Chains A and B, each alone.
Chain A
Amino acid sequence: MRISIAQDYRTVLIFMEVCLVKAKTNAVPHALGSRSGAEKNRLMKWLISIRKNWMVYTLILPGFLWYIIFAYGPIGGLTLAFKTYKASLGIWGSPWVGFENYVYVFRDPAFVASIVRTLQINLGRMLVTFPVPIILALLFNEIRSRKFKRITQTILTFPNFLSWVIISSVVITLLAYDGPVNHLIKSMSGAGFNFLGNEKVFIPLLYLTEIWKSSGWFTIIYLAAISGIDQDQYEAAEIDGASRAQSIFRITMPNIMPTIVIMLILTMGNLMTAGFDQIFNMSNAAVRQVSETLDMYIYRITFQAPPEFSFSMAIALLRSVVNMMLLLLADRGAKLMGGDGLLG
């Protein structure tokens, strides 16, 4: 593996060099008489510039090495998607098999079902949880007591800084069959309610806990956007006799639209992956039928059955590509609708 890291490093260096050379040749003005001379000149300047800035490279080096080993190393491992993994041969020595892994994986009905389920859960998540922080931010903006605002904002943001392990622990103990919520239900209606092992309530429970955990945090982002709005607009509207509700829909909403669009694009880019931490910690065997999303499926075939690294890599690659396509698609859509989009 150490050798392969070095290989990777070299590839990247070559890639960098190619990019630089390309940038240089593009920049050379063709009208100049002695082209090679100008090129030589530029090369010299370039080398001198590198030498002059050598200390900046020592600043970047530690972080850069980390990226090469722990971010680009695994990207190289994506080649496993087209190989059959043999532990004795390693990633680089394993034989190529082309698209065989994909042919095999698409034959597994559980895989196709997991994709459908992921899209269902996460599109539902977009519809149900995405608007909540926007509404909260608009409401926060109408509250005039600073003290009340500060205290409630602190409370609402806090759960976002706890892990899903902690949040699920709280939810599971509260909603357990012998837990406090069921005690209350039993004392009122006589029979308990099975929250945790119930396929019907599992997905609503996901949305509720998600709102509970992170809507306060996203509210802050929208509040920041609201605080950037020019106050003159509100004053002018008030003089013209606009009600506060009108101000919200005619001034605040249009002004925070770019932020909403950016958040929407980012959510779209996460459609295939969102919610693994949450679902992994909240689910149990009883709700397997509704909880096995794509990431849960990958986890299962990778670490629970006899490991199938090649298949799971094939799926992971597919997932990354789909995520990226969704992101670009959403970005394009936003631009077509006249927005700014994410990528310039």
Chain B
Amino acid sequence: MALKKRKIEWLDVVAILIVSFFAVCIVLPFYHVLIVSFTTQKEYLDTPFMLFPIAPTLKNYSTLFADGRILVGYRTTLQILLVGLPLNLLLTTSFAYGISRKGFPGRSVIFYMVLITMLFNGGIIPLYLLMKDMSLTNTLWSVILVYGVNTFYMIIMRNYFSSLPESLIESAKLDGSGEWHTLFTIILPISMPIMATITLFYAVDRWNEWYYSMIFIRKSSIQPLQLILRSIVIDSQVATHISTAGINLGDIQFTFGLKMAAIIVTMTPVMCVFPFLQKHFVKGVLVGAIKS
């Protein structure tokens, strides 16, 4: 069918027009945010809609970094990421591999116990009380530990491991390889696509996390990036002057350019890993797993 050249019908035109419209609607706001972040307040007030700034400036960025709050956010988020991401991967991979092994007593009971947590959870209050009882509130450990295994990602991984040939594991066993050894030397090297996808998903989740931090952490010196952005843009906009994160914004005037620069700084890392992420899930690694 693909070989036959067909003439262009109205359907082709409509499809391309509508999809292009969506794409433009998504690109335009980001483009606007990007150029305003390079514009001085004066130029912006004269021409709020511009295609390109006449006199591009880095002043917004230098003011933003000189203020230092965004750096606190970066440092905190990176700390959470550096400790939290390996923890996510260790817990998820070993659990998913273990549960994918067949024929050990208790397998289905454990699996159903995990599935129940997807449907039913206690919500934020018992978690908060739990963190308080373990004296973890106001420390990064609360945010790191609260997100250990994402059941959804775990199941995707388990499905992948289950699809691997059993003979591979059996032959390793005959060679006297223990389960952990098999996982690291035989299973992981052939599971790189799924590992990359799940790693990136966890990384993006960690990067975007703000809710638990808002509840568990009240100290302004360890606020993650998202909450700093929130206080810079959203709280200063609604002019309540009382930030949810408890950060006092009274001492600096956040201009449009500064706010846009803060948005760009927060989303750039996600933008950088996105092409890699896209490559994997479009291949169908993930989507195939979602269906099953």
Contact = CB atoms under 8 A, between A and B. Distances in A.
B1 A154 contact: no
Interface in B30-76: 30, 32-33, 36, 48-49
Given A74-B122, A320-B121, A180 B23 contact: no
A284 B238 contact: yes
A interface residue count range (under 10 / 10 to 19 / 20 to 34 / 35 or more): 35 or more
Interface stretch (A26-34, A96-104, A105-113, A309-317): A309-317
Contacts of A74: 121-123, 126-127, 130
A127 B63 CA distance: 45
Query: A interface, by DSSP: helix, strand, loop or mixed?
Result: helix
Q: Point out which of A139, A148, A153, A302 has the most chain B C-beta atoms below 10 A from its C-beta.
A: A139
B93 to A, nearest CB: 9
B215 A303 contact: yes
Contacts of B49: 180, 183-184
Nearest to B273: A161
B11 A244 contact: yes
A73 interface: yes
Given A55-B179, A165-B226, A281-B230, A62 B94 contact: yes
B122 A59 contact: no
B98 A46 contact: no
Given A140-B19, A144-B12, A173-B256, A77 B126 contact: yes
Given A140-B15, A309-B129, A166 B180 contact: no
Contacts of A225: 291
Interface string A253-297: 000000100000000010000000100010011000000000000
Query: B interface, by DSSP: helix, strand, loop or mixed?
Result: helix
Interface stretch (A12-20, A117-125, A199-207): A12-20
A249 interface: no
Contacts of B230: 165, 169, 281
Interface in B1-37: 1, 9, 11-12, 14-16, 18-20, 22-23, 25-27, 29-30, 32-33, 36
8 contacts: A55-B178, A67-B114, A75-B117, A75-B122, A78-B122, A173-B233, A244-B11, A298-B123
Interface of B: 1, 9, 11-12, 14-16, 18-20, 22-23, 25-27, 29-30, 32-33, 36, 48-49, 90-92, 94-95, 97-99, 101, 103-106, 109-110, 113-114, 117, 119-127, 129-130, 133-134, 145-146, 148-149, 154, 178-180, 183, 204, 207-211, 215, 226-227, 229-230, 233-234, 237-238, 240, 256, 259-260, 262-263, 266-267, 270-271, 274-275, 277-278, 281-282, 284, 287-288, 290-291
Interface of A: 1-2, 12, 16, 19-20, 46, 49-50, 53, 55-60, 62-64, 66-67, 69-78, 80, 90-91, 136, 139-140, 142-144, 148, 151-159, 161-163, 165-166, 168-174, 176, 179-180, 183-184, 196, 212, 215-216, 220-221, 224-225, 227, 231, 234-235, 238, 244-245, 259, 269, 277, 281, 284-285, 298, 302-303, 309, 312-313, 316, 320, 323-324, 327
Given A62-B94, A161-B274, A238-B1, 16 more contacts: A1-B134, A49-B103, A62-B91, A73-B122, A78-B122, A156-B26, A163-B208, A169-B230, A173-B33, A174-B29, A179-B48, A224-B290, A227-B284, A234-B1, A284-B237, A323-B119
